[in-house]
């Protein structure tokens, strides 16, 4: 018997039903103006929506100003609600659902943008940013918990169908969970239960706000941090269980830690020449060229690189799971669906081609669907560009020096 693919069938995340199993994973667009939405952000997400996606996720909104690392990043506040409403209306018109990823960059925030010394679980120096960091006081932690709840309400007022809380990749919630980073002596540090306390309190606040607004809640979390001493599967499976009991509607299973193992998130190598090509500051360019390859170590890319770990979660977690990471071909996507993952998260395939989902469908209709593959070469030029420019696939840019495009040849 020929099994019919689930890819183009609807499925639900809590109160929300998506038209198919595809989710545009949060990928920082770098398109905001004054930390609010822009026409470019509108054009990109409506193109992804018109391109057939089930739900598109607007990336990386800070729940408070102290959590910002880029001037082109969203910051959730009442004054941007009308602009976000325009954006979500555009997405809905194209038949897709809209989600916004929300979090706090913690020790990855930038003083000149976040307006204060960056904060984290403890004080120290973050070489990757680079910045001095101060430990959050208990009162401030509780204020941030409230900020996550307020941001959820703002997301609802902005017309989003879902919020995705960013608890991975070495940002603030992940910094608190990390036994490597979190050296606090109070009830937010020490034992694993204590290190989870901040995330639990945030989720309680978010779930309460979301229930009032009938919104879906996803959490993006790490299965492994990707460096020795970081979180591993034994702890992260417990985190997933805790989130499931907190009533979260779906988990996005990822990994990596921006200040220690950035390429674990996306795999492959960071194109250092591309990264520095876009930098306006000569002294930083020289420094990054000298130590970049040492600080940003490559991690081998294989298609569907998180699937093996994600299967361990599938065995014990009942809520819908979004798998993400190198799901570039229909063959691997089908494998993930067969493994019981409800949703397929994709970032680079949709940077390369916002209509990738429709193109998969068209190929299926022509009878060559199972061989269909994204045109993304996972050379990560879009990631090199991300730190200083807007999100564009280099394949669609004119005037890029050949020496950059051939960086890995």
Residues annotated as catalytic (active site), given as ranges: 171
> Cα angle at 162 between 156 and 166, to 5 degrees?
110
Q: What is the H or E stretch that residue 192 is in?
A: helix 192-213
373 sits near ligand SF4 (criterion: CB under 6 A): no
What gap in Å lies between CA 399 and CA 199, rounded to an integer? 45
Place of tokens 């890995």: 408
Enumerate residues 6+ apart whose C-beta is below 8 A from 140: 119
Closest CA to 331 of 370, 376, 365: 370
Judged by beta carbon, residue 200 or residue 373, the one nearer ligand SF4 is: 373
Report the relative pairing of strands 124-126 and 131-135 from DSSP bridges: antiparallel
Contact between 352 and ligand FMN per CB under 6 A: no
What are the helix and strand counts (H, E) for the chain?
16, 13
Q: Does 376 bind ligand SF4 (CB under 6 A)?
A: yes
From the list ligand SF4, ligand FMN, none, pick the one residue 393 interacts with, judged by a Cβ distance below 5 to 8 Å according to partner type. Answer: ligand SF4
Q: Does 326 bind ligand FMN (CB under 6 A)?
A: yes
Q: 32 is in the binding site of which of ligand FMN, ligand SF4, none (Cβ under 5 to 8 A by kind)?
A: none
User: Any idea what DSSP says for residue 270?
Assistant: -
Q: Contact letters (x/-) for ligand FMN, 83-122, by CB under 6 A? A: ------------------x---------------------
- By CB under 6 A, name the one of 144, 181, 265, 344 that touches ligand FMN: 265
Q: Residue 139: how many CB atoms within 10 A of its CB?
A: 7
Choose, by CB under 6 A, the member of 151, 167, 382, 404 that binds ligand SF4. Answer: 382
Strands (E), 238-369: 250-254, 321-324, 343-346
Q: State how far the Cα of 357 lies from the Cα of 370, in Å rounded to an integer.
A: 13
Say how far apart CA 194 and CA 34 lie, in whole Å. Answer: 36
Read off the tokens for 407.
């960086």
380 contacts ligand SF4 (rule: CB under 6 A): yes
Instruction: Give 229 or 375: the residue with its C-beta nearer to ligand SF4.
Output: 375
Count of residues in contact with ligand SF4, rule CB under 6 A: 13
Find residue 62's DSSP bridge partners: 75, 103
Contact partner, 21, from ligand FMN, ligand SF4, none, Cβ < 5-8 Å per class: none
Q: Which does 381 bind (CB under 5 to 8 A by kind): ligand FMN, ligand SF4, none?
A: ligand SF4
Yes or no: say if 393 and 351 are a contact pair by the CB < 8 Å rule: yes
Binding of ligand FMN by 346 (CB under 6 A): yes
Q: How far is the CB of 263 from ligand SF4 (least distance, A)?
A: 12
In contact, 25 and 57? CB cutoff 8 Å: yes
Tell me whether residue 51 or residue 230 sits nearer to ligand SF4 (CB atom).
51
CB within 8 Å of 331: residues ≥ 6 apart: 370, 371
Measured on CA atoms in the order 234, 239, 244, 245, is the torsion positive or negative?
Answer: positive
Report how far residue 110's alpha carbon sits from residue 113's, in angstroms, rounded to the nearest whole number: 5
Under the binding rule (CB under 6 A), the answer on residue 59 touching ligand SF4 is no
Question: Residue 104 binds what, of ligand SF4, ligand FMN, none (CB under 5 to 8 Å, by partner type)?
Answer: none
For residue 348, state whether it binds ligand FMN (rule: CB under 6 A).
Answer: yes
Stretch that binds ligand FMN, among 9-17, 189-197, 279-287, 345-353 (CB under 6 A): 345-353
- Positive/negative CA dihedral, 183, 184, 189, 190: positive
CB 119, CB 133: distance < 8 Å: yes
Interaction between residue 395 and ligand SF4 (CB under 6 A): yes
* Residue 332 interacting entry, from ligand FMN, ligand SF4, none, C-beta within 5 to 8 Å by type: none
Q: Among the candidate windows 26-34, 107-115, 200-208, 360-368, which touches ligand FMN by CB under 6 A?
A: 26-34
Binding segment toward ligand SF4, per CB under 6 A, in 7-15, 304-312, 355-363, 372-380: 372-380
Nearest distance, CB of residue 24 and ligand SF4, angstroms = 13
- 393 lines the binding site for ligand SF4 (CB under 6 A): yes
**Which among ligand FMN, ligand SF4, none contacts residue 346 (Cβ within 5 to 8 A by kind)?**
ligand FMN
Judge whether 131 and 68 are in contact, CB under 8 Å.
Answer: no
One of 113, 296, 324, 333 touching ligand FMN (CB under 6 A)? 324
The count of residues in the chain is: 409
Give the footprint of ligand FMN on this chain (CB under 6 A): 25-28, 59-60, 101, 166, 169, 220, 254, 265-266, 324-327, 346-349, 382-383, 386, 391
Give the footprint of ligand SF4 on this chain (CB under 6 A): 348, 351-352, 376-382, 393-395
């Amino acid at each position: 018997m020929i099994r019919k693919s689930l890819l183009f069938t609807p499925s639900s995340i809590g109160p929300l039903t998506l038209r198919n199993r595809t989710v545009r994973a949060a990928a920082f667009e770098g398109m905001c103006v004054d930390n609010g939405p822009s026409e470019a952000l509108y054009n990109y997400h409506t193109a992804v929506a018109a391109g057939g996606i089930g739900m598109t996720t607007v990336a990386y909104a800070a729940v408070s100003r102290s959590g910002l690392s880029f001037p082109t990043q969203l910051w959730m506040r009442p004054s941007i609600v009308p602009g976000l409403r325009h954006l979500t209306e555009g997405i809905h018109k194209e038949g897709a659902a809209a989600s916004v990823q929300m979090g706090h960059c913690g020790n990855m925030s930038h003083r000149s943008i976040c307006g204060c010394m960056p904060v984290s679980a403890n004080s120290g120096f973050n070489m990757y940013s680079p910045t001095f960091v101060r430990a959050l006081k208990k009162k401030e932690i509780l204020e941030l918990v409230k900020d996550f709840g307020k941001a959820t309400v703002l997301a609802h007022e902005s017309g989003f169908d879902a919020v995705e809380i960013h608890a991975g990749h070495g940002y603030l919630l992940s910094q608190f969970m990390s036994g490597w980073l979190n050296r606090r002596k109070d009830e937010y540090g020490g034992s694993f239960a204590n290190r989870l306390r901040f995330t639990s309190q945030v989720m309680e606040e978010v779930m309460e706000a979301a229930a009032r607004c009938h919104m879906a809640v996803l959490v993006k979390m790490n299965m492994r941090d990707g460096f020795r001493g970081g979180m591993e599967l034994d702890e992260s499976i417990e985190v997933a269980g805790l989130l499931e009991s907190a009533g979260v509607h779906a988990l996005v299973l990822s990994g990596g830690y921006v200040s220690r193992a950035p390429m674990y998130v996306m795999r492959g190598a960071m194109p250092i020449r591309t990264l520095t090509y876009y930098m306006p500051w000569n002294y930083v360019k020289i420094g990054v060229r000298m130590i970049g390859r040492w600080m940003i170590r490559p991690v081998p890319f294989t298609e569907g690189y998180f699937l093996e770990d994600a299967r361990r979660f599938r065995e014990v977690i009942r809520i819908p799971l979004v798998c993400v990471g190198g799901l570039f071909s229909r063959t691997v996507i089908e494998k993930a669906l067969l493994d019981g993952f409800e949703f397929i998260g994709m970032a680079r395939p949709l940077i390369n081609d916002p209509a990738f989902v429709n193109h998969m469908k068209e190929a299926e209709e022509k009878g060559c669907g199972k061989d269909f593959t994204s045109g993304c070469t996972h050379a990560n030029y879009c990631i090199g560009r991300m730190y200083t420019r807007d999100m564009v696939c280099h394949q669609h840019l004119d005037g890029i020096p050949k020496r950059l495009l051939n960086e890995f040849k």
